[in-house]
Amino acid sequence: MTPGLGRLLAVLAGVLALLALAGPASAHVGGEVAGSDFDGRVTSVTPQLPGVAVRVLQFGDELELVNRSGTEVLVPGYSDEPYLRIGPDGVWRNAHSPATYINLDRYGRTTLPDSADPGAAPEWEQISTQPEYVWHDHRTHWMSQELLPPQVTADPTREHLVSEWIVPLRHGSTEAEVAGVLTWSPPPSPWVVWPLAAAGLLAAVAAGLLARTPLLLGGLLAVGALAALWHALATPEPSVTAGSHVGAVVSALLPAAATLLCAVLGARAALRGRGAMTGLLAVVTGWLLLVQGLPEADVLWSANASSAGPQPVARVAVGVLAALGVGFVLGGVAAVRRFREVDATPGGTAAGHPVPVA
DSSP, collapsed to helix, strand or coil, labels residue 216 as helix
* Bridge partner list, 91: 86, 128
Q: How far is CA 56 from CA 18, 71, 167, 178, in A?
A: 32, 22, 12, 11
Mean pLDDT is lowest, of 31-35, 118-122, 334-338, for: 31-35
Long-range CB contacts (within 8 A, 24+) of 345-352: 350/273, 352/272, 352/273, 352/274
**pLDDT, tens only, 311-320:** 999 999 999 9
**pLDDT, tens only, 119-159:** 999 999 999 999 999 999 999 999 998 899 999 999 999 99
Q: How many CB atoms lie within 10 A of CB 312?
A: 10
Q: How many CB atoms lie within 10 A of CB 128?
A: 15
Residue 238 is predicted with a pLDDT of: 79
Q: What is the mean pLDDT of residues 12-19?
A: 52
Name the average pLDDT for the chain.
87
Q: What is the mean pLDDT of residues 290-309?
A: 92
Quick one: DSSP state of residue 32? S
Could you give phi then psi for residue 181, rounded to 5 degrees?
-135, 155
User: In sequence order, what DSSP letters do the residues of 303-322 get, joined into one string?
Assistant: SEE--SS-HHHHHHHHHHHH
**pLDDT, tens only, 249-286:** 677 788 999 999 999 999 999 999 999 999 999 999 99
Rounded to whole angstroms, the Cα distance separating 46 from 54 reads 12
DSSP, collapsed to helix, strand or coil, labels residue 61 as coil
Q: What is the mean pLDDT of residues 91-110?
A: 94
Q: 11: pLDDT confidence band, cut at 50, 70 and 90?
A: low
Quick one: DSSP state of residue 4? H
Q: How far is CA 53 from CA 76, 181, 228, in A?
A: 17, 17, 31
Rounded to whole angstroms, the Cα distance separating 271 from 16 reads 25
Rounded to whole angstroms, the Cα distance separating 86 from 71 reads 9
Over pLDDT 90: what percentage of the chain?
72
Could you give phi then psi for residue 192, rounded to 5 degrees?
-95, -45
- CA nearest to 299, candidates 27, 25, 97: 27
Rounded to whole angstroms, the Cα distance separating 312 from 324 reads 18
Residue 192: partners with Cβ closer than 8 Å, 6 or more residues away: none
∠ CA 92-93-98, rounded to 5°:
170
- CA nearest to 329, candidates 290, 271, 274: 290
- CA nearest to 256, candidates 233, 240, 281, 279: 233
Inter-residue contact 340 to 355 (CB < 8 Å): yes
Rounded to whole angstroms, the Cα distance separating 237 from 29 reads 7
Count each helix (H run) and each strand (E run) in the chain, helices first.
8, 14
